[in-house]
Every structure is written in C-alpha cells, then in structure tokens.
Amino acid sequence: DAKTTQPTSMDCAEGRAANLPCNHSTISGNEYVYWYRQIHSQGPQYIIHGLKNNETNEMASLIITEDRKSSTLILPHATLRDTAVYYCIVRVANTGTASKLTFGTGTRLQVTL
Amino acid sequence: DVKVTQSSRYLVKRTGEKVFLECVQDMDHENMFWYRQDPGLGLRLIYFSYDVKMKEKGDIPEGYSVSREKKERFSLILESASTNQTSMYLCASSPLRTGSHGYTFGSGTRLTVV
C-alpha cells in the first residue's frame, strides 16, 4: 500500500471548515483513499473513502486532486466533538481477501471555541 | 447498530501470565483484525483472520497468538505477558469485499502488565 504524509497537528475554530490535507504521491491506479478518525480513548471510526471523484457524505467531503497524488478531507462546520486524530490511508479495496489497513500517525485536529 | 465488542475495557495482568483478549462482532464479517496502539507509534497490526480457523501474521506478531473458532469471535492470546506488551489493543472487522463501511473497530482494551 502507498505511503501517506499528513501534518502532525492542526487547529480549527468551532463552526469553521476544517481542511485536512494528505499527500499520497505514490498511489497506484487501483488504490482508494480512506479516511478514519479516532476520538480519544475510542477505536478508529470510518469517515469516507474515494477513488478519483470527489465524495460527500453526512460526515465530511473528500476532495482528490486530478493526479490523485493528494487529497483533502473537509469537515464543513467543525464542532468540539470533531477533535480527534485523523488518519489518511490508501489501499486497494474490494480485493476479495483480508487486505489490511496500515495506519500512519495521522493529524491531530484540535477544535477550539 | 453494528458492533465490535471487546470483552474488557481495562485489564491488569502480571508478568508471565497467559492473557486472553476477546473480540466479538455481530455483522457476519469474514475478516477480523487485532492491532495495538502505542504513543508515537500509531496502530500496528498484530494478526488478522479472513475465515474461521484461518490466520495471518501482521507486522508485529511476536509474543502473540490468535484463535478463530467461530466466525464472530477472534481472540488474541499473550502466551506469557511481558511489560512491553502494555498497550491499547484494538479489534476490528470488515466484510470480505470492503465497501463503503470499511473497517469497524471496537472501543479497545487497555492492558497493563505489571
């Protein structure tokens, strides 16, 4: 699986959009970009994933550049409960086997009043 | 609501003890995983299983074994616990073909070996 690079930490004011970047310059054509987050003392939680088109769900939006070498997770109106570590992961999906998720150290997002 | 349940939230064991960490999922998922999480090291995969009685080593299997006798249950075993196995242990499951839901994680077991 391709390696990802994320900033160590970011701050965001409550109510503003949080934009979390991820670089994955060695991504392969069949690898998806997944985002998870981990709130303190809990297990990671799936947020969103995409291949090359932008994606949106009730939690967030995912913007993937045209060359697929980077992406941005957008939380449109951050709240204090969005304070967490956010992980960007690239891997092949739907392989039919137990392909594993490899986590980096992620971005620690602190949402403040 | 779908769930991955880990039997203990906190556990304290003595060095040399045999330790069992239990994980149960109610989603009929084929794949199950055990990770450990340590400060500064992120999540590291210990073992995973893609079917009953099947197992594969992850990145750090030394000192651990696993058991999967039933589809819904995946156990992590520390044959002889050591202090360097003090960690947060996370179980996860996923369907065979990982679609929109990706992995579902349990809440974790914080194990302290004294």
Alpha-carbon distance A27 to A37, whole Å?
A: 21
Q: What is the pLDDT of residue A98?
A: 54
- Mean local confidence (pLDDT), B88-113: 86
**Considering only CB atoms, which chain A residues are within 8 Å of B56?**
98
Kindly list the residues from chain A whose CB atom is less than 8 angstroms away from the CB atom of residue B58: 100
Distance (Å) from the C-alpha of residue B9 to the closest C-alpha of chain A?
10
Residue B2 has what pLDDT?
A: 62
Neighboring chain B residues of A97 at a CB cutoff of 8 Å = 50, 96
Return the pLDDT at A3: 86
- More confidently predicted of A80 and B99: A80
Q: How confident is the model at residue A5 (pLDDT cuts 50, 70, 90)?
A: very high
pLDDT of B97 over the 80 cut: no
How many of the other CB atoms lie within 10 Å of CB of B67? 16
DSSP string, A20-50: EEEE-TT--TTEEEEEEEE-TTS--EEEEEE
pLDDT band at B71 (very low <50, low <70, confident <90, very high): very high
Query: A96: pLDDT confidence band, cut at 50, 70 and 90?
Result: low
Q: CB–CB of A94 and B97 under 8 A?
A: yes
* Chain A residue numbers touching B31 (CB-CB < 8 A): 98
Report the alpha-carbon distance of residue B23 to residue B6 in Å, rounded: 5
B34 burial via Cβ count (<10 Å: 0-12, 13-18, 19+):
buried
**B contacts of A43 (beta carbons < 8 Å):** 4, 90-92, 105-108
B1-51, pLDDT tens digit by residue?
669 999 899 999 999 999 999 999 999 998 999 999 998 888 899 999 988
The pLDDT value recorded for residue B96 is 74
On the question of pLDDT at A14 being above 60, the answer is yes
Whole-angstrom distance, CA of residue B52 vs CA of residue B69: 6
* Nearest CA-CA distance, residue A84 and chain B, Å: 14
Predicted pLDDT at A94: 55
The conformation of residue A17, written as its DSSP 8-state character, comes to: P
Task: Verify whether the Cβ–Cβ distance B108 to A101 is below 8 Å.
Answer: no
Mutation site, B103, B107, B109, B110, interface A, largest A CB count within 10 A: B103
Map residue A89 onto helix, strand or coil: strand
On the question of pLDDT at B100 being above 80, the answer is: no
Q: What is the pLDDT at residue A47? A: 94
Per residue in B82-91, pLDDT (tens digit) is: 999 999 999 9
- Distance, in Å, from the CA atom of A17 to the CA atom of B49, rounded to the nearest integer, reads 39
Hey, are the CB atoms on B102 and A41 less than 8 Å from each other? Answer: no
What pLDDT band is residue B98 in, cutting at 50, 70 and 90?
low
State how far the Cα of B88 lies from the Cα of B22, in Å rounded to an integer: 13
Minimal C-alpha gap between B42 and chain A (Å): 5
Q: Give the pLDDT band of residue A53 (cuts 50, 70, 90).
A: confident
